């Protein structure tokens, strides 16, 4: 399946291609193909040789490793506009994790050997990739900082705000995947996530199965960036 104009619009905004002119992006993506996955389909497996990198167009994928005890450890959960596997693909390394569709997903696959040839022809692509790598490291550091500094309630509030269709006022948010994967994405245990959802009721966010009714997204955003216990108690008075 070939790329659409909407696909190219999303692709042009990823860090690796940001700042490149449209003609260069078209040249890099010339051999790209769209991969359609159903929920739980595997895109690639941990330990396989990386021959391409990928860009999420629609849906969600989870990336996990199998640890020594045989348990699944979720590393990332990615969605629209996220790119992944660039570094391992361009160096011919092995995929460090398994990528599996968490929902139905539309993903662009770009062959690594073609991108390497493009880099040799256009030095600005290499500079864009260096900038992309630096941005990815900054995002990783921010994520680690959030895991250390934010409570489970704040992480959940931030996650819901990112999914909200409005910036303030009431709305209904549809959870994109099951709560066990949400817990893994937020770095909390499932029981901690359940307690966080229960406490969010006092902040005006009530979960019903896969939907969350929010009284005011702006207040939820405030909860994500402030002392949650103080705000929840104030709300609950």
- Tell whether 14 and 106 lie within a shared domain: yes
CATH of the domain at 45: 2.60.120.10
- Tell whether 76 and 143 lie within a shared domain: yes
- The residue segments making up the domain with residue 109 are 5-147
Q: What is the pLDDT of residue 235?
A: 47
35 within 8 A of 61, measured Cβ to Cβ: no
**What is the percent of the chain with per-residue pLDDT over 70, rounded to a whole number?**
91
Q: How large is the average pLDDT for residues 182-207?
A: 91
- Alpha-carbon distance of 34 to 110, in angstroms, equals 9
Q: What is the pLDDT of residue 156?
A: 93
**Domain boundary residue, one of 128, 147, 166:** 147
Q: What is the pLDDT of residues 52-87, one digit of tens each?
A: 999 999 999 999 998 777 778 888 899 999 999 988
- Tell whether 117 and 203 lie within a shared domain: no
Q: Any idea what DSSP says for residue 49?
A: B
- Tell whether 162 and 203 lie within a shared domain: yes
pLDDT above 90 (res 96): yes
- Tell whether 73 and 160 lie within a shared domain: no
pLDDT above 80 (res 107): yes
CATH of the domain at 166: 1.10.10.10
- Alpha-carbon distance of 51 to 64, in angstroms, equals 19
- Tell whether 21 and 45 lie within a shared domain: yes
**Domain boundary residue, one of 98, 126, 147:** 147
- Tell whether 170 and 188 lie within a shared domain: yes
Answer with the residue of higher pLDDT: 95 or 122. Answer: 95
**Least confident range of 129-143, 160-174, 197-211:** 129-143
DSSP assignment of 154-182 equals HHHHHHHHHH-SSSSS-EEEE-SS-HHHH
Dig out the tokens for 211 from the structure: 């939907």
- Tell whether 205 and 127 lie within a shared domain: no
- Tell whether 120 and 232 lie within a shared domain: no
pLDDT grade for 40, boundaries at 50, 70 and 90: very high
Beta strands (DSSP E) in the chain are: 33-37, 42-44, 52-58, 61-66, 72-78, 83-84, 98-101, 105-111, 171-174, 205-208, 211-214
Q: How many domains does the chain have?
A: 2
- Alpha-carbon distance of 68 to 9, in angstroms, equals 41
- Tell whether 175 and 68 lie within a shared domain: no
pLDDT grade for 232, boundaries at 50, 70 and 90: low
- Alpha-carbon distance of 179 to 199, in angstroms, equals 16
**Domain boundary residue, one of 147, 168, 201:** 147
- Tell whether 124 and 18 lie within a shared domain: yes
- Tell whether 127 and 220 lie within a shared domain: no
């Amino acid at each position: 399946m070939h790329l659409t104009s909407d696909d190219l619009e999303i692709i042009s905004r990823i860090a690796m291609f940001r700042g490149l002119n449209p003609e260069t992006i078209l040249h890099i993506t010339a051999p790209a193909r769209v991969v359609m996955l159903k929920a739980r389909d595997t895109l690639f497996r941990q330990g396989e040789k990386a021959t391409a990198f990928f860009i999420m167009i629609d849906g969600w994928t989870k990336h996990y490793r199998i640890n020594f005890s045989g348990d699944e450890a979720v590393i990332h959960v990615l969605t629209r506009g996220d790119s992944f596997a660039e570094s391992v693909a361009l160096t011919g390394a092995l995929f460090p994790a398994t990528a599996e569709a968490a929902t139905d997903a539309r993903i662009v696959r770009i062959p690594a050997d073609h991108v390497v040839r493009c880099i040799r022809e256009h030095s600005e692509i290499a500079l864009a990739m260096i900038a992309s790598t630096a941005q990815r490291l900054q995002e990783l550091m921010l994520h680690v900082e959030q895991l250390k500094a934010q409570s489970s309630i704040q992480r959940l509030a931030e996650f819901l705000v990112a999914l909200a269709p409005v910036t303030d006022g009431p709305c209904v948010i549809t959870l994109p995947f099951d709560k066990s994967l949400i817990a893994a994405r937020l770095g909390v245990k499932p029981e901690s996530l359940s307690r966080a959802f229960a406490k969010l009721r006092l902040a005006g966010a009530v979960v019903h199965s896969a939907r969350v009714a929010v009284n005011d997204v702006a207040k939820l955003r405030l909860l994500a960036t402030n002392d949650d216990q103080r705000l929840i108690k104030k709300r609950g008075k």
